[in-house]
């Protein structure tokens, strides 16, 4: 039994009109028994100027394990008060994958 950590950075390109979702998979050197994902930090910004912020989402799904691999999804949104997701936004989300491995 060993506790291992992998840092991962998810990059979100400038996008508008939708909530962004990025699937991720990290691989450990031995089989994973259990895993959790921690938010390590994020940087979010509008691509085309300054806007008021109504809603901001940074969410990480529950991990799934397959052998040495841990997969998860990051959901990302920055929206102003216009009622639409009509302004381009971008950023990064840093995660820490914590796994209990066989060795």
The pLDDT tens digits for 9-20 are: 999 999 999 999
The rounded distance, in Å, linking the Cα atoms of 20 and 38 is 19
The domain tally of the chain equals 1
In this predicted model, what pLDDT tens digit does every residue of 35-65 receive, in sequence order?
999 999 999 999 987 778 888 999 999 999 9
Give the dihedral sign, CA 57/58/61/66.
positive
The rounded distance, in Å, linking the Cα atoms of 103 and 95 is 23
Please tell me the pTM assigned to this model: 0.90
The rounded distance, in Å, linking the Cα atoms of 32 and 67 is 6
| Confidence bin at 5 (pLDDT 50/70/90) | very high
CATH number of the structural domain spanning residue 21? 2.60.40
Residue 89: domain span: 2-101
């Amino acid at each position: 039994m060993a506790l291992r950590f992998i840092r991962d950075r998810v990059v979100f390109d400038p996008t508008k009109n939708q909530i962004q979702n990025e699937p991720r998979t990290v691989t450990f050197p031995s089989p994973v028994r259990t895993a959790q994902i921690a938010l390590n930090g994020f940087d979010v910004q509008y691509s085309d100027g300054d806007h008021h912020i109504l809603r901001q989402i940074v969410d990480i799904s529950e991990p799934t394990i397959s052998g040495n691999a841990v997969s998860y999804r990051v959901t990302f949104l920055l929206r102003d008060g216009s009622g639409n997701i009509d302004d381009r936004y971008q950023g990064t989300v840093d995660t820490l994958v914590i796994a209990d491995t066989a060795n």
